Structure formats: structure tokens, C-alpha cells
Amino acid sequence: MREFRPVATRRAFEEIASQIRGRLARQALRAGDRLPPERELAGQFHVSRNTLREALRSLEIAGLLELRKGATGGAFIKEGGGDAAVAGLADLYHLGTIKPEHLTEARIVIGTEVARLACARRTKEDLAALEANVTAAEDATRRGDVVQRAHVNYEFHRLLARAARNPVLTVITDALMEMTRHFVESVGYMPNRYVMPSRRRLLQHLRAKDGEGAALEMESMLKRLQRFHLARAGDAGKPRIRS
């Protein structure tokens, strides 16, 4: 496999970020903890404040830290929420590495399994939240508020993923919804008549904990949506190219 590793001409800020990452990985630093002020940390690492800031900046972008200003401010360890991973995947869509057809296909693959797992693990609370969401989507549809409806629909998938109780699938679903949102905004909101009935059937399967039924329902809905989306993508789709 790899015969040689590139000789690590490590930059100072990388070394610092790596040390802080290490303390996070070994749980010496936990969510909510605050790092010392920049000026003090710079002293501890024997680097200038600018260099230290680049290290903190890299950790902030990676989603590990949150920097707050003010008297009680500082660098706080963030709860691992996967924002960075979501942004990283979304960037791949913006760059064109991920194309609409990849997105729709991934949604089918992931969504189907999420539905299956959610059936097995959903709590009463999950079910209530999902039912409230579907009701809200139906309201928005009746009002003809396509934007609101689209956002409620993204939220449905996120809720379902959380009900599946697997953070890997949660983060992936969040990323897929983020990409879908960009896609839909670039081709325009598209009303259709089959999503809401499908939602109702899906809720039935969830109530009955019928994983296979839920998976099939989700798969068929997403495949229909795929055809719908890709037809649009042909015209206006893909990361929009402005002049």
C-alpha cells in the first residue's frame, strides 16, 4: 500500500491543533470546558498569538471549538454535533463532485435503511414528533406555502433519522437534506401529490413497527421523487452556474 508517508513538514499551528485534538480524544477535555485565554495559551505553546489563533481557527472550522467574545468568553469545547461533517459533504455537492443523480441515489439507499431502523427503535415521543411534522406539512400544502412545506419535509427525514438512533445515519441524513435543499432551491420548488399520502402510510408502518413495510414505502416514494428530481436536473439542475 503506502510505501512512504510524505515527510511531515508540520506547521506550528498543526502541531498545536493536534495536541488539543489529542486531549479531546482522550477525554481530558469535555464538551463545555473552556480553554485558557489565547494570550495564555500562546505562552504555554511558546508561539505567537497569531499562530495560536490559526490553530484555534482550524479547530473551530472542524467543529470542535466555539469561540466566544467578551469577559466570560474564550474557546469552549463544542458538543459533537457533526456540523463540520455535514458542511464537508455539502461542499462536495457545491464543487460538483457529488451530482444530483448521486444525491438522489444516496437518499434511496440511506433513507430506506433509516426507515427500517426507525421502525424498530422509535419511541412514543419520536412518533408524536413525526405525526406533528406531517400535520404541519399538510397545513403548509393546503396553504400553498411550498417553501415552508419543503423545510418541514427536510425536517421529517431528520426526525426519522434521529429515531433510528444511530449518529452516523443522523449526520449523513442531515448532509443529504442540506444538499437536497440546495438542489431544490436551484431548480425551484416543485409541488407534487404523492409525498403526503406516502407520509401517512409511513406513519402507519411506524406505529405498527413494521420495518419492512416502512422500508418499502420509503423506497418507492424516494424512487418516485428521484425521477421527478432528475427530470428537472436535466434542465436547470446541478450546482447552478451563474455568469
Partner DNA sequence: CGACTATAATTGGTTGAACCATTGATTTCA
Partner DNA sequence: TGAAATCAATGGTTCAACCAATTATAGTCG
Selected from 45, 66, 106, 226, the binder of a copy of itself by CB under 8 A is 106
Q: For the CA atoms of the chain, what is the radius of gyration?
A: 22
Cα dist from 223 to 157, 162, 175, 228, whole Å = 15, 22, 19, 9
Query: CA 95 from chain center: how many Å?
Result: 17
Contacts of residue 111, defined as CB under 8 A and 6 or more positions apart, other chains included, come to 157, 173, 176, 218, 219, 222
Residue 162 contacts residue 126 (beta carbons within 8 Å): yes
Selected from 5, 8, 10, 25, the binder of a copy of itself by CB under 8 A is 25
Residue 225 contacts residue 176 (beta carbons within 8 Å): no
Cell of 166: 444511530
Interface with a copy of itself, residue 213, by CB under 8 A: no
Q: By C-beta, is 57 or 201 nearer to a copy of itself? A: 57
Q: By C-beta, is 71 or 95 nearer to DNA? A: 71
Report strand pairing: 65-68 vs 74-77: antiparallel
Selected from 23, 53, 165, 201, the binder of DNA by CB under 7 A is 53
Euclidean distance between CA atoms 193 and 51, whole angstroms: 56
What is the CA angle 162-64-10, rounded to 5?
A: 135
Q: Taking CB within 5 to 8 Å according to partner kind, which of a copy of itself, DNA, none is near residue 240?
A: a copy of itself
Interface with a copy of itself, residue 8, by CB under 8 A: no
Q: By C-beta, is 5 or 69 nearer to DNA? A: 69
Site for DNA in 72-111 (CB under 7 A): 72-75
Site for a copy of itself in 42-71 (CB under 8 A): 50, 53-54, 57-58, 60-64
Q: What residue ranges bind a copy of itself (CB under 8 A)?
A: 1, 13, 21, 24-27, 31, 50, 53-54, 57-58, 60-64, 80-82, 84-89, 91-92, 94-98, 102-103, 105-106, 109-110, 113, 117, 148, 151-152, 155, 166-169, 171-172, 175-176, 239-242
